[in-house]
Amino acid sequence: MIKKTVLTQHKSPQNIRFTKTIIFDLSGVLLIKKDATHMLADTQSTSPMLVVNFVETLALLKACKASGHKLFVLSNLSVAKYELIKQEPQIASLFSFFDDIVISEMTPYEKPDAQIFTYFCEQYNLQPSECIFIDDKQDNLDGAQAACINKTILCSNFDLQHVKNELVSYGILRQSQALELNIPTGQA
């Protein structure tokens, strides 16, 4: 006797949110302040910052974008510094992956104030529960969590390998994508 199996479609509970947006800090996560050695090595550049692990950062941003996520920057850099760094070709190529770049000086708030995250989400019609925030300072992550952005990643020493692993654990990247990235651990 053959039993007829009825397959039912399982619905996800309404309160489970999937990450749709990744918010990066700039200084300390993607960029580093130039020291005297860097300035002497590249006298043509007027940018006070440079990209750490350019190839790996580029690969990470491509993978996140290819997975269908919105990418944003939320930075406490000054507008003047931002205007300088966006002229740098490597930095500009990274910026092309972002849906927008928000400099806190252009808002009523500044990180780590939780209100900047609420303001940011309201401006872009984002649900905090559908966002992840990556920063190199714990107080900024605490501010994001106070604004209900519960998925956060502490990126210290430019450790993109850690960021990649956390993105896999949050389901943002698949393990197969992560293996293709070949990102070294913390090289500043």
Per-residue pLDDT tens over the stretch 84-140: 889 888 889 999 999 999 999 999 999 999 999 999 999 999 999 999 999 999 999
Percent pLDDT > 90 in the chain is 55
Look up residue 63 and give its DSSP letter: H
> Using CA atoms, how far apart are residues 57 and 132, in angstroms rounded to an integer?
17
Percent pLDDT > 70 in the chain is 73
146: Cβ–Cβ under 8 A, 6 or more apart, which residues?
Answer: 114, 117
> Using CA atoms, how far apart are residues 98 and 91, in angstroms rounded to an integer?
12
Residue 57 has pLDDT above 60, yes or no: yes
The model's pLDDT over 3-28, given as tens digits with 9 standing for 90+, comes to 333 333 334 344 444 779 999 999 88
pTM here is 0.80
Angle at 159 between CA 158 and CA 163, to 5 degrees: 115
**Structure tokens, 38:** 């860097």
List domains and CATH numbers for the chain. Answer: 21-181 (3.40.50.1000)
**The pLDDT of residue 178:** 55
